[in-house]
Amino acid sequence: MNNSRHLYTAFALAALCTGTAPAFADAPSTCSVAGTYLLSATLLSSPLSQVGGTAVFTPSASCDPAEAGTVTIEATYASTGSSQAYHETMSYRVDGAIVTIGDGFMVGGLSGMANGIATTVPVNGAGWLRLAGTLTRRDIDGIAGLPGPVGPVGPAGPAGPIGIQGVPGVAGPVGPAGPAGPTGPTGPGGAGTILLTGGTGMSIVPMGAPSYSAPGAGPVPAPTGGVPVPAGTMGNLRVRTSAPLLLGMSLQITVLVDGLPTSLVCVVDGATASDRCSSVGTVAVSAGQAVSVQFDAAGPLMIYSVAYSMELVP
């Protein structure tokens, strides 16, 4: 007879739990015995043997009382002068308050229920090779004891390292103004920059024909309706519409001098949903020449107003 079968036979019994079965809020199932239990028992044969070890219970996934779980038993039984280890995995069932391990291998009862799980499973066998003892759930917390008295104050520890520098404080009030210093020498005169601005105001930019505007004067009827400027260099043309153009729309802005187009040109393109453009070129103007701006719109009807600026350095 092999070792496992011999030990199985040595532990086999039909244990009957005596007493009145406890009442349960829910029907007991394999979920009523779950986790690791410590086995401590006596094998009541001749000679007497002490049995100790663990039993790890894994309930069925559904907790259905009709379904079995599995239990793995690791134990050692010892009698005078000898001991032997035992390892076995088998099924277990819970029927009412009775826990049956294997096919009648071990029988116990539910006891000390906490949150629906038995804290102990008494095992009281009858017949030859009886096993008497308990399975006690290992991970049940005990009741916390009273706090002990406060211990004496220990000696002061060594000084810690110097801490990091703190956050600077708020600035103090501004002091009184000092006396005015002497006036410095007059510097050389600067050339200065004249900013020319204009636009369409609330006017609609028409389709099919150009429209015109003069800096500082708003819309004008003709390209020659510009304003005279001093001699210098114009550049840095910047244009912006009141809203981004739609796909298929474009607006070209050209600076005119005495009614003639110059190289200061930029295009607002609806293909990129843009609302602005600029030109970095420059154009020289003579004193008294008239400056105006021409708008050429393409695409669906445009209802955008336009603003522009350019710089004139004398």
Instruction: Decide which of 87 and 127 is more confident.
Output: 87
Q: Cα–Cα distance between 130 and 143 in angstroms, integer?
A: 34
pLDDT at 139: 72
Can you name the residues that pair with 126 across neighbouring β-strands? Answer: 14
Region of 88 please: left (phi>0), alpha (psi -120 to 50) or beta: beta
Looking at 26-35, 38-47, 187-196, which range is the least confident one? 187-196
Residue-range domains of the chain with CATH:
3-137 (2.40.128), 194-313 (2.60.120)
pLDDT value of residue 288:
94
Q: Which of 186, 216, 181, 190 is closest to 201 using CA atoms?
A: 216
Residue 3 has pLDDT above 70, yes or no: no
- For the stretch 173-210, pLDDT in tens is 999 999 998 998 876 655 689 999 998 876 667 767 88
The terminus-to-terminus CA distance of the chain in angstroms comes to 118
In this prediction, residue 13 has a pLDDT band, given cuts at 50, 70 and 90, of very low
φ, ψ of residue 138 to 5 degrees: the values are -80, -30
Of the listed ranges 117-131, 165-179, 295-309, the one predicted with least confidence: 117-131
Higher local confidence (pLDDT), 301 or 211? 211
Q: How many CA atoms lie within 13 A of 35 on its CB side?
A: 15
d(CA 108, CA 84): 23
* Measured CA angle at 72 (ends 68, 76), to 5 deg: 140
Share of the chain above pLDDT 70, in %: 83
What phi and psi values does residue 5 have, to the nearest 5 degrees?
Answer: -70, -35
Residue 243 has pLDDT above 50, yes or no: yes
Backbone phi and psi for residue 33, each to the nearest 5 degrees, phi listed first: -130, 100
Question: Residue 246: how many CB atoms within 10 A of its CB?
Answer: 13
Going by C-alpha positions, the residue among 273, 309, 271, 267 that lies closest to residue 291 is 309
Instruction: Say what the pTM is.
Output: 0.41
Residue the block writes with tokens 């406060």:
150
Q: Where are the beta strands (DSSP E) in 115-226?
A: 117-126, 130-137, 194-199, 211-214, 218-220
210-235 mean pLDDT = 91
Whole-number percent of the chain with pLDDT over 90: 45
Residue type at 86 in one-letter notation: Y
Confidence bin at 141 (pLDDT 50/70/90): low
The pLDDT of residue 44: 73
DSSP 247: T
